[in-house]
Chains A and B, each alone.
Chain A
Amino acid sequence: EAGVVQSPRYKIIEKKQPVAFWCNPISGHNTLYWYLQNLGQGPELLIRYENEEAVDDSQLPKDRFSAERLKGVDSTLKIQPAELGDSAVYLCASSLDFAGEQFFGPGTRLTVL
């Protein structure tokens, strides 16, 4: 069984540029999460989807961040415009449902110059 897939694995951009991250969860997993992980810290939830519905986006900075999961499968997280402080690893995770084990993807390491 394939795990959670994310792309790109690495991204370097200049500040004020837009950037997008893509996630393909494990087949059959209804719940999808986007986390932010700063160096030396634990993952912090940005948004959680149940199928195509965003059920918890309280930690998503909505002035510059947006996310979508149109058909309840793949998801895209976008930042526009990026700031220096956005440099971090963006992790996607999925689970069968909100109470299930979360499986993480390899992450996208974003560097904003």
Chain B
Amino acid sequence: GENVEQHPSTLSVQEGDSAVIKCTYSDSASNYFPWYKQELGKRPQLIIDIRSNVGEKKDQRIAVTLNKTAKHFSLHITETQPEDSAVYFCAGGFQKLVFGTGTRLLVSP
């Protein structure tokens, strides 16, 4: 089955810096790769997703890139703000999503 690995487990940046979180997957049949943001004690919320027929997708300060050949995808957050602090999960799959172990992002003012 699918296996998704996520790095780093924690990431600390200064406000205004960029943050990059990377994930790899194992199943070449996987075609859907969402990213979720989860604040402490709250539900995971989708922030951006990408499907395997697209290499990059942007939404304001957030972008995701996908390299199908290398089986990895990344989340890029530019001009980080303190409210970006949360745990971010990548996920990948075909009919079933497998989640990464999460990255705790801390943005310091």
Is B97 located at the chain interface by the 8 A CB criterion?
Answer: yes
Known A42-B91, A98-B95, A99-B32: A91·B101 in contact at CB below 8 Å: no
- Contact: A104 with B45, CB < 8 Å? yes
Roughly how many angstroms separate A48 CA and B97 CA in the complex, as a whole number?
Answer: 11
Question: A-facing mask of B56-72, CB < 8 A → 1, else 0?
Answer: 00000000000000000
Q: Is the interface of A mostly helix, strand, loop or mixed?
A: loop
Chain B contacts to A: CB under 8 angstroms: 6, 32, 34, 36, 42-46, 49, 89, 91, 95-102
Q: Is the interface of B mostly helix, strand, loop or mixed?
A: strand
Interchain CA distance A40-B102 in the complex, whole Å: 7
| Residue tally, chain A, CB below 8 Å to B | 19
Inter-subunit contact B95/A56 (CB<8 Å): yes
Question: What's the nearest-Cβ distance from chain B to residue A89, in Å?
Answer: 9
B residues in contact with A54, CB < 8 Å: none
In the bound complex, what is the Cα–Cα distance between A85 and B93 (angstroms)? 27
Q: How far is the CB of B26 from chain A (nearest CB, A)?
A: 15
Residues of the A chain whose Cβ atoms lie less than 8 Å from the Cβ of B36: 104
A103 to B44, CA, bound (A): 8
Q: Is the CB of A43 within 8 A of B96?
A: no
Q: Distance (Å) between the CB of B12 and the closest chain A CB?
A: 17
CB-CB contacts below 8 Å: A64-113 with B: 91, 98-99, 101-107
Say whether A44 faces chain B, with CB atoms less than 8 Å apart: yes
Quick check: A106 and B42 within 8 Å, CB to CB?
Answer: yes
Checking B42, B89, B96, B98 against A48 with a beta-carbon cut-off of 8 angstroms, the contacting residue is B96
